[in-house]
Structure 1
Amino acid sequence: MMNTNAKILTTASLFVLVFVFGCAEKPANSNTASQPSSEVVEENPAMEGFNVKGSDEQAIDIADQVMKAMGGRQAWDKAHYLVWDFFGGRRLYWDKWNGDVRIEFLKNDTKILLNIHDLKGKVFKDGQELSHPDSLSHYLNRGKNIWINDSYWLVMPFKLKDSGVTLTYSREDTLGNGKKADVLALTFEEVGVTPQNKYEVFVDKEDKLIKQWAFFRNADQDSANFIRPWDNYQSFDGLLLSGNRSDNGGPTDVHLLDSLPATAFTSFDPVDLKQLD
Structure 2
Amino acid sequence: MKNIFKATLILFTLLFSCTSLLAQSKDKKANAIVKEMLTAMGGMKNYNSTQFIQWDFVNRKLSWNKWTGDVRVENPSAKQVILVNINTLKGKVYENGVLVNDQAKAKELLEKGKNWWINDSYWLVMPWKLQDPGVSLKYVKTEKLPNGKTADILQLTFSAVGVTPENKYWLFVGKEDHLIKQWAYYKNFNDAEPKFLKPWSNYQKVGNILLSFDRPNEEVGPKNVVVKTNLDSSIFTEL
Show CA shifts across 1:200-231 (max 9, x none).
11000000001101111222222111000011
Residue 255 of structure 1 corresponds to: 226
Query: Please, which of 185, 190, 193 is the counterpart of residue 160 of structure 2?
Result: 190
Answer yes or no: is the 8 Å Cα contact 1:231–1:245 preserved in 2. yes
> Residues 57, 84 of structure 1: CA spacing in aligned structure 2 closer, same or farther, 3 A cutoff?
same
Give the partner amino acid of 1:98: T
> Residues 142, 153 of structure 1: CA spacing in aligned structure 2 closer, same or farther, 3 A cutoff?
same
TM-score (norm 1): 0.80
Segments of 5+ residues of structure 1 without an aligned counterpart are 1-7, 26-45, 269-277
Residue 80 of structure 2 corresponds to: 110
TM-score (norm 2): 0.92
Residue 60 of structure 2 corresponds to: 90
Larger Rg: 1
Distance 1:174 1:125 in 2: 49
1:1-277 superposed matches below 5 A: 8=1, 13-15=5-7, 16-19=9-12, 20-24=14-18, 47=21, 50-52=23-25, 55-87=26-58, 89-248=59-218, 249-268=220-239
Return structure 1 stretches of 4+ with deviation > 6 angstroms: none
Show CA shifts across 1:231-251 (max 9, x none).
111112431011110232300
Show CA shifts across 1:141-190 (max 9, x none).
11111111100000011111111111000111222311000000110011
Distance 1:185 1:225 in 2: 15
Partner SS for 1:149:
helix
RMSD of the alignment, in Å? 1.7
Identify the structure with the greater strand proportion.
Answer: 2
Answer yes or no: is the 8 Å Cα contact 1:13–1:145 preserved in 2. no
> Residues 164, 174 of structure 1: CA spacing in aligned structure 2 closer, same or farther, 3 A cutoff?
same
Segments of 5+ residues of structure 2 without an aligned counterpart are none
Residue identity (%): 42
Give the partner amino acid of 1:117: N
State the aligned residue count: 236
Show CA shifts across 1:76-104 (max 9, x none).
110110000002x1011000011000000
